[in-house]
Amino acid sequence: MKKRYIVIIALAGFIGLAWTIVRLTNILAIYTVPTNSNFPTIKSGDRIFASRLVSPKRFDFITFYTTTDQFGKQIYTQRLCGLPGDTIEIKAGDLYINGLFADSGLTLAHFYKVPIGELQKVKGLMTPEEQEGNINARDSILVNLADAEIKKLSLTATKQLQSPFEKNDEIFKSYKKEMNADYFGPVVVPVNKYFLLGDNRSASQDSRYLGFADNSDYIATVLEKK
């Protein structure tokens, strides 16, 4: 019996050591996503499984380290859209890579102006903050919606875009160019850098604002979510 306990303890110790190695080397990592920056593909509260053993390809989601003045060093999850040498441009909210439209096939979300008469169609999709912000709306309401919902609900909605003449100080700080999130670039991704975007294009703090991500900050490639 004593020998059996020794074997069980040794096995438990081995499993614990193996799991520690797995986590420290990012052979397999599990994260709980805290934001909706990749809505509707990955929602706040979703769990994602990622591995460093899988080399990232264009349009894969990856986890990586980023540092901001407000929050310091954190782990972000975003879609890898630009590889070294790629020319990235966003025109009227649409992504172009090397001159080609690149958003087809992606599940994206944006802010939309929806006529007040269609409020009941989208009320169940609105956050409490959106409901409070639109409480006195007369003509239209502003809602963060998955693009697919526009067609599904037959909404006469208009994508909320910034003017091409509107500038963003945070983007200027990163790129030294007068651009905004909807009219961005063209910029060329440097060697050993990545350009990352969140699928929730109107509500994502990504490479448009933070600058290119260094590939040394890459942690792992997302395999699946739950």
Provide the pairing of β-strand 47-51 with 29-32. Answer: antiparallel
CA distance 25 to 95: 33
CA distance 155 to 196: 30
- Condensed to tens digits (0 to 9), the pLDDT of residues 172-223 reads 999 999 999 999 999 999 999 999 999 999 999 999 999 999 999 999 999 9
Residue 7 or residue 95, greater confidence: 95
**CA nearest neighbour of 108 among 11, 178, 199:** 199
- Condensed to tens digits (0 to 9), the pLDDT of residues 26-82 reads 588 899 999 999 999 999 999 999 999 999 999 999 999 998 877 789 999 999 999
Residues 124, 142: contact at Cβ < 8 Å?
no
Provide the residue ranges of all domains of the chain, joining segments of one domain with +: 30-84+191-226, 109-159
Residue type at 113 in one-letter notation: K
0.95 exceeded by pTM: no
C-alpha dist (Å) from residue 208 to 17, 93, 95, 126, 168? 40, 12, 12, 26, 10
- Condensed to tens digits (0 to 9), the pLDDT of residues 133-149 reads 998 888 999 999 999 99
Task: Supply the pLDDT for residue 111.
Answer: 96
**Which one of 2.60.120.680, 1.10.1380.10, 2.10.109.10, 2.60.40.1930 gives the CATH number of domain 30-84+191-226?**
2.10.109.10
| Beta bridge mates, 48 | 31, 225
Cα 44 to chain centroid distance, Å, stands at 11
> For residue 9, is pLDDT > 60?
no
Q: Where are the alpha helices (DSSP H) in 62-206?
A: 119-122, 128-133, 147-152, 169-175
Q: Which residues contact 184 (CB under 8 A, 6 or more apart)?
A: 88, 89, 90, 171, 208
CA distance 7 to 189: 54
Give the model's confidence band at 100: pLDDT under 50 very low, under 70 low, under 90 confident, else very high: very high
Task: Supply the pLDDT for residue 161.
Answer: 96
> For residue 2, is pLDDT > 70?
no
CA distance 209 to 212: 9
The helix/strand/coil state of 209 is helix
Task: Return the top range by mean pLDDT from 4-18, 88-102, 118-132.
Answer: 88-102
